[in-house]
Amino acid sequence: MRAWILAALVHPASYIDGVSRGAASTGAPGGWLGDYLRDPAGALLALLTPVVHWLQIWWPTVTVFAVFATLAVIAERRALARRRHAALVADARQVTVLAPPVVDPAGGAALWSNLVGLLRPGWRRWWSGQPHVACEYVFSEAGVAIRLWVPGVIPPGLVERAVEAAWPGAHTRVASPAEPPLPPPSEDQRRLVIGGELRLARSEALPIRTEFDADPIRALIGAPVGLGRHEYACVQILARPVTGHRVARARRSARRVHAGASTRPVGRLLDLVTPGMKTSRPSGGRTASGALHTDPQTSLEYAAQNRAIVAKQRGSQYETLIRYAVATLLPADAGDAQLRTARDVARGRAHALAASFASYTEHNHYTRRRLRHPGLVLTDRRLGKGDLLSVNELASIAHLPVDEAIPGVQRAGARAIAPPPGIATPGPLAKPLGVSDAGHQRPVALRVQDARHHLHVIGATGSGKSTLLGNMILADAEAGRGIVLIDPKGDLVTDVLSRLPRSAGDRVVLFDADSKSRPPCLNPLDGGETDLTVDNLVSVFRRVYSAFWGPRTDDVMRAACLTLRAQEGVATLADLPKLLAEPAFRSRVTAGVTDPVLRGFWSWYEELTDSSRSQVISPLMNKLRAFLLRPFVRDAIAGGHSTVDMTSVLDGGICLVRIPKGSLGEETTRLVGSLVVARTWQATTGRARTPQRQRKDASLAIDECHNFLNLPYPIEDMLAEARGFRVAMTLAHQHLGQLPRELREGMSTNARSKVFFNASPEDARELSRHTAPRLSDHDLAHLGVYHAAVRLVLGGEEAQPFTMLTQPLPRAIPGRAREIRGLARHALQATQRARAAGTAPRQPGTQSATRPTQRPATPSGNTRPASRDSHTGSRPRSTDPRRHP
């Protein structure tokens, strides 16, 4: 047929005439179809002859039109490519991947197999293209960062969840918009960039090496070691899933490799020009000449190559492109010598990066190609035509380092564990904690009824404890639950005041050691049962001053407090020094004491000489004076009648105690906070008179709790009783070494919900008993900032531990703190005016001003007031002042 075509092209008219005569003589069917059946080549030539004659006349016009049409098509294709790429770049984000402590070697294949799901339908690929992903190894003086560039058209969270699913325990940090892989120069700098591109040297049907005894990434990460302050490097791997026409082209290339034909365009063109010359490869044990092949090694190599081609084409495919670059930032006025030296160093580092890919050589290998303007090309992240790789091949060059000994790799501190089913989300009946950091990110919360089992929070300064407590307190305030907060630093109360709702202003009782306004008064000797009040007060002093407290000091203070409680009117701690040091005041107060034990104590006390009496009371007096010399303490603790009713606070009020150690001193802060805790505990136990269903949920949050839990009761008993009284305690501190053994054991057992921020290795080993085996001591010791391990009580049972990130506090409302302070101050002034008038407004957190009723005179002629109980109103005292108020 080839000879017929040549004859027809040389003498077309005679050829057509001969064909017509042959058709007429044979009587075959007429028409073009009959001619095609008798002589296909002649029929086609007859059809093309008019076209050739037409082109001979109009070829200049046709040529010009064809050139313009070709240029228009090329321009349109380029414009379409630019529009597609602009759509990808818009809202693109950068995902930094932090490797887990132990990296699963199969994670790379799992990630890229998962991302095959990014493949769009055919019609959509034709219209808007197929998005690609860039895996970048970015090197700097600080080490190497592994990042994924994700186009904006890919839904948020899709790639991030794929990474966390591929490598359990890995963390992702998302930044939007995406940053350039190499930092741009500033105004007084110039940037020198050396880079290139890696392409497959042989047909893309042949695979690269994928099986290694050691991690091949080790050579890549070690190549740019020793980067200086202004030196950077990047290896960028662009990849997009492909199918259809692109895969079919690769299969045609595989057939050419199998047949021994050329796979390059130039080689195929030469094959057409020289059709008689064909290359062939041995197959079936014979050479091209038919002789028996005698080299078994070559046969084995060809067989292995065929198997590798088939294995590569079996799975999903990616079109990939590898680029690399090294950048150096130089001063704008750098000289030629400095520029030349920097160029030589950068070129050497770029060669080292490219050479690290030599370890992938097997049936195929990578070769370097020059890249113009590498800095701009890497920043653009455009993927045109690339090389086809299977999932396993791509995973071998783009994965997290498996070798734990590789230095400089950013690693996740702790595994990310998803919360178990049933963990609540924030709402009116659940207190917000944070958001989960594994799987689908969602808010997590602690149910109010489960919060009654108490919450233990531990973490170093700056780890996120105050943020957690602040969000929980704001949620309680919004829901109308009672709150008592003790803050020895001061920042937490300030943050809460700036964010409280305006409607909560009339419920706030504020103790602020730095405020110039007169604080409310919480007199520890006013109200309550005498035995409980005095025991709590003496216990607080004894535990705060445990190193300087003896049995005689304890006896003196207890007797003095019981005596003051027996006097007519209100007693304060400011009366203690006068009782012990002023004979006239002492004789007037002790004259009404009827208890024989107390009378015996004061008889002994009066018999002491002045020097002996001074020795007895000096240990107590120096502590009382240091305590009462501070105006804030004198007004808040010894200012007369209590203006704060803790029962009302627990039923819906908000008591904020801001007592910074820097303002009051450590010992005074401990005393004030402990006295507030003692009064709160008295109000808590007073709920025993209220039916259980009528008890409202309340919270007691104590930061640096080891400083303020100084009551004479075991902590396990307090926590157990508080749960029954529906008072949820949140106990926060920095490390376990701050807790005495009894307090540590009690909190470990009875504060059943746990939130652990970053802990020391010693504490992590102890705390991991609550989180193992899901979270080890290594995980607890490597938690990041605002990252916490959590184990909650769920429906009365302890749930599986998980990890979370605390959420920042809401934005502060300008002027809200000043407004809340004003409302609290006005409420206090209204209470004081009402007390002076004999009545008090019934507001949460303020105590009624009803005067104690007087009981009839005792047989000795003395009258004593019947102190009002803080829960049940007024009731008379018995003759023993130590048993009843």
Express each pLDDT in 346-361 by its tens digit.
999 999 999 999 999 9
pLDDT of residue 173: 86
In the β-sheet with 455-458, what is the strand arrangement from edge to edge? 443-447, 430-436, 802-805, 787-791, 753-756, 455-458, 727-733, 698-703, 482-487, 654-658, 508-512
pLDDT of residue 548: 85
* 133 vs 121, more confident: 133
How many Å apart are CA 730 and CA 466, to the nearest integer? 12
Q: Is the pLDDT of residue 6 over 50?
A: no
Strand partners, 97: 146, 172
Cis link prior to 181 (omega < 30° from 0)? no
How many Å apart are CA 321 and CA 304, to the nearest integer? 26
Backbone angles phi, psi at 173, to 5 degrees: -120, 125
pLDDT category of residue 260 using cuts at 50, 70 and 90: low
Helix (H, G, I), strand (E, B) or coil at 730: strand
Q: How many CA atoms lie within 13 A of 784 on its CB side?
A: 18
pLDDT category of residue 34 using cuts at 50, 70 and 90: confident
pLDDT of residue 259: 67
* Mean pLDDT for the chain overall: 83
Nearest alpha carbon to residue 259 among 300, 314, 306: 306
Q: H or E segment at 655?
A: strand 654-658
* 527 vs 638, more confident: 638
Number of separate helices (H) and strands (E) present in the chain? 32, 26
pLDDT of residue 453: 95
Which range, of 1-5, 291-295, 716-720, 832-836, averages the lowest pLDDT? 1-5
pLDDT of residue 277: 52
How many Å apart are CA 767 and CA 781, to the nearest integer? 10
Which range, of 405-409, 501-505, 629-633, averages the lowest pLDDT? 405-409
How many Å apart are CA 455 and CA 468, to the nearest integer? 11
Highest-pLDDT range among 126-135, 247-256, 278-287, 857-866: 126-135
Cα torsion 167, 170, 174, 180 to 10°: value is: -80
Over residues 678-722, the pLDDT tens digits come to 999 999 999 999 998 899 999 999 999 999 988 888 888 899 999
- Residue 2 vs residues 6, 10, 545, 700, 876: alpha-carbon distances, Å: 6, 13, 113, 98, 128
pLDDT category of residue 266 using cuts at 50, 70 and 90: low
Helix (H, G, I), strand (E, B) or coil at 789: strand
How many Å apart are CA 673 and CA 772, to the nearest integer? 35
pLDDT of residue 674: 92
Strand blocks (E) in 158-285? 171-175, 189-200, 231-242
* 879 vs 787, more confident: 787
What tokens does 680 get? 């709160």
pLDDT category of residue 495 using cuts at 50, 70 and 90: very high
- The radius of gyration computed from the CA coordinates of the chain, to the nearest angstrom, equals 43
Q: What angle do CA 700, 705, 708 make, to 5 degrees?
A: 90
Residue that is written with structure tokens 């504490």 in the block: 763
Over residues 45-64, the pLDDT tens digits come to 888 888 888 878 888 888 88
Taking each helix axis from N to C terminus, what angle separates 40-89 and 31-38, rounded to the nearest 10 degrees?
100
Q: H or E segment at 483?
A: strand 482-487
pLDDT of residue 256: 73
Please compute the mean of the pLDDT values over residues 835-857 and round it to a whole number: 47
Could you report how far apart the first and last alpha carbons of the chain are, in Å? 125
Which range, of 60-64, 318-322, 518-522, 571-575, averages the lowest pLDDT? 60-64
Q: What angle do CA 511, 515, 517 make, to 5 degrees?
A: 90
State the pairing for strand pair 482-487/698-703: parallel
How many Å apart are CA 19 and CA 40, to the nearest integer? 11
Please compute the mean of the pLDDT values over residues 213-236 and round it to a whole number: 88
Q: Indicate yes or no: pTM above 0.75.
A: no
- Cβ contacts of 878 within 8 Å, gap of 6 or more: 884
How many Å apart are CA 206 and CA 254, to the nearest integer? 8
Please compute the mean of the pLDDT values over residues 163-182 and round it to a whole number: 87
- What's the chain's length in residues? 885
* 441 vs 328, more confident: 328
Residue that is written with structure tokens 């002034």 in the block: 829
Q: What is the largest CA-CA distance in the chain?
A: 159
How many Å apart are CA 107 and CA 875, to the nearest integer? 73
Over residues 633-665, the pLDDT tens digits come to 999 998 888 888 899 999 999 999 999 998 898
pLDDT category of residue 264 using cuts at 50, 70 and 90: low
Please compute the mean of the pLDDT values over residues 611-616 and round it to a whole number: 90
- Cβ contacts of 835 within 8 Å, gap of 6 or more: 641, 643, 849
- Are 456 and 792 in contact, with CB atoms under 8 Å apart? no
* 513 vs 57, more confident: 513
Nearest alpha carbon to residue 724 among 679, 777, 684, 682: 684
Return the HEC string of 489-501.
CCHHHHHHHCCCC
- Cβ contacts of 605 within 8 Å, gap of 6 or more: 613, 616
DSSP states of 44-67: HHHHHHHHHHHHHHHHHHHHHHHH
pLDDT of residue 762: 92
Q: Is the pLDDT of residue 251 over 80?
A: no
DSSP secondary-structure letter at 325? Answer: E
* 441 vs 162, more confident: 162
pLDDT category of residue 268 using cuts at 50, 70 and 90: low
Over residues 726-749, the pLDDT tens digits come to 999 999 999 999 999 989 999 999
State the pairing for strand pair 387-390/317-331: antiparallel
Strand blocks (E) in 723-840? 727-733, 753-756, 787-791, 793-794, 797-798, 802-805
- Residue 629 vs residues 241, 609, 666, 733: alpha-carbon distances, Å: 76, 27, 15, 29
Residue that is written with structure tokens 């409420």 in the block: 827
What is the CB neighbour count within 10 angstroms for residue 760?
A: 16
pLDDT category of residue 135 using cuts at 50, 70 and 90: very high
Strand partners, 328: 192, 231
How many Å apart are CA 150 and CA 93, to the nearest integer? 5
